[in-house]
Amino acid sequence: MGIRNLAFAHLTVPVEEITQPLQHIWYSRPTLQAWRRIAVTESLHATTNSYPGSAFDKSTSAESGLAGAAKESFEPIHYARHAYDLVKYMLHTYKPNHILIERQRFRSGSQSAVQEWTLRVGVFEGMLYSVLRTLIEEHKLQLSIEPMQPPRVNRYWLEGRQGLLGSKENKLVGREVKKAKIDLVGQLLGGGSSDICVGSAAQQTASDFVSRVNQASTRRRADIPNISKLDDLADSLLQGLAWIQWQNNRRRIETLGRDAIDMASGALL
């Protein structure tokens, strides 16, 4: 989530009916249909018409819209319009059943006061929920909205999946966490993973992402260029994939009860 750097991933997931050992619904392998970074002040329809396919292309990066930064307004009256335009664009273009929004928190950056940009992003987050709730109630949309807690997602992927946050010796902090998530997404997209497919519209962004990860792997972590571009995209994808897997885990537990869990370790079977 961001004002000048907002990343989103559009995932489609087939639903399968599992019959053994008990009948239940299961999300199968997801497909990444769209993966983008935008500035919320830009014209989404204009960028779609000229969109070259990669979130890393200069024409779609947040920096391209900063030539008129002097005219940029952070007033609520203007950001209410941006929130409405963004939501309407997403609903019309992707027709989602579920929308996940990264939960924001106030940050001080080790200073005595909360940084102003975090307040702006928090206000925009609230506007997105307000617009979505209004549209759902007025148009009777069958749409669920859920917040995603970044620390919980990080623990799932880096502790549960890779064991990187579990011990003091291996615990990652700050930029190292970002690097670990970027590397993980690079592996998912570049290693023929069975966890995800990449649709044609997202192929260029995925290819560019993997290329940048591979280039960065030969350099020190602190030297990775434009880490925020990679980090924003990585977060949006990992949050969507985590939610899908959590739904499958929940359904498995609801269906199988104790039989779905290894009672000794607490791990799902």
* Omega cis (within 30) before 21: yes
* Residue 225, both tokens: 């260029």
* Omega cis (within 30) before 52: no
Lowest mean pLDDT among 199-208, 209-218, 235-244: 209-218
Nearest to 38 by CA among 19, 18, 60: 60
Q: Report how far residue 39's alpha carbon sits from residue 4's, in angstroms, rounded to the nearest whole number.
A: 4
The structure's pTM equals 0.84
Q: Report how far residue 127's alpha carbon sits from residue 253's, in angstroms, rounded to the nearest whole number.
A: 35
Quote the DSSP letter at residue 222. Answer: G
Residue extents of the structural domains in the chain:
6-63+73-260
Does 82 have pLDDT greater than 90?
yes
Which CATH number applies to 6-63+73-260?
A: 3.30.420
195 against 169, higher pLDDT: 195
Q: What is the pLDDT of residues 25-56, one digit of tens each?
A: 889 999 999 999 998 887 665 444 444 457 77
Q: What is the largest CA-CA distance in the chain?
A: 62
Residue-level length of the chain: 269
Q: Report how far residue 97's alpha carbon sits from residue 48's, in angstroms, rounded to the nearest whole number.
A: 22
Q: What is the average pLDDT value for the chain, to the nearest integer? A: 82
